[in-house]
Structure 1
C-alpha cells in the first residue's frame, strides 16, 4: 500500500512537471499574441466579441489541452507501465496531473492577462467592457477560474479519450470516439451558452443576486455547474473502462 502511494505521488509529480514544461512553451507563444491584441498594434480597439481578449485567451488553451491530452498518454502510458506502474496508478496520477495543469495554465494566463492590461494602462471600465476574459463576473475571480479549469480539463480528457479509443478499438473505435467527443463538447458548450446572457460567452454562467447574494448564484447556473462536473466525471470514467481493456505485452 505504501509503495503504491509513493509511486502514485512520484508519478503525479513527473506527469505534472512534464506537462507544465510543455505549457511553459505554449504560454511563451500565446502571450505575445495577447500582448499585440491588447496594444492594438494589429487590431482596432472596437473588436467584435468573437475576436475579443477572451477568445484569444480561451480558444488556444482548449486546443492545447486537447493536444496534450492525446500526446502525454500516448507517449508515456506504456513507458510507465514498463516501469512497474499499474494502470490504476497511471490513471489516477495522470488525472490529478491534468487537473493541476489545467489550474496552473489558466491561473498563469489570468495573471499575465491582467499584467498586460495594466501595463497598457487599461482602466477598470475598459477591463470589464467586453474585452476581459470573463466579463460576466469580474468580481468573482475564484469562480471564473474554476469554470475555466473545468473547461480545460474537459478538453484534456477528450484528447485522452480519443487516444485511448484508437489504441483499444482501432480505427473504428477511434472514429467513434471522435464522433462521441464532438457530441460531448457540443453538449458542454450548449450548457455553458444556455446559462449566459451573450451566446458567445461560453465559460461563465449568468448570476442572480436575489437568491444567493453571497455568491450571486442562480439555480440555473448551479444546475449547469453540476451537469458540467457530472459530464467531466463521465468522460473520466469511460477512459478508465477503456484503459483497463488495453492489451499490453506484459499482460
Structure 2
C-alpha cells in the first residue's frame, strides 16, 4: 500500500468515525432531552469530509485519475497566457500568500484580538497558523512530489510540490480571520462581504501559484482541501470552547454573541 493509499483510507476512516460518533452523540442528547451540539458536529464533519477529498486528490496523483489529467493542460494554458503586467501582479499576490505574509497577518490578527480581549479567538488564530506551517512541511515531505519543470517557473522554488503551501496556509489564516471577524459583525451584508473578500484572496493566491508555473493544479486543490480541513477543526474547537463557557454562565446573564459556525 502506498502513502497515497494510506492517506485516502485515513480520510475514508475519518468519515466513518465521524458518522458513528454523530449518531451516538445525537441519540444520547435526544435521550437526555438536550439539543445535540450541531455546530461541533457540522464542523467536525466538514473537516473529515475535506480531508477525505484531499486523500482522493493525492490518490489521483499517485494512480493517475481524471482530476490529475488536468495538471498538464492547465500548466500549459497558464504559461501560454502570460504577460509582463500580469507577471508582476501574480508575483505580488503570491508573495502575499507566502510564509512571511501569512505570518505577519496571523500576528496582526492575534494582536488585535488580544487587544479586544478575545483571548480564545486569539489563541485559535495562533494555533491555526502554526498548525498550517506544520502541515505544509509534513505533508510535502510525505508526498515528495516534484514541481513542474524549471523552464515553466517564473520564480524559483526548491521544496516539494504537494500540497501547495501557499494555498493551504492562506486558506487557514485568511479563513479563520474572516470567520472570527464576521463573528464580531452583526450586519449580514457585512458578514457576506468579509466572506467574499476572503474567498477572493484565497482563490487569487492559489491561481497565482499556477500562473507562476510552480505548482500543478492538483497541488493547489490539495492545499485548499487540507487547509480547509484544518480550518474546520480549528473553528470546531473554538465553537466547543465558546459552548462550554456559555454553559457556565446563567442563561439570563449570557451575552448575545454570534456563533463561530452560525
- Name the TM-score, length of structure 2 as normaliser: 0.36
Q: Does 1 or 2 have the higher relative contact order (CA < 8 Å, sep 6+)?
A: 2
- Name the TM-score, length of structure 1 as normaliser: 0.37
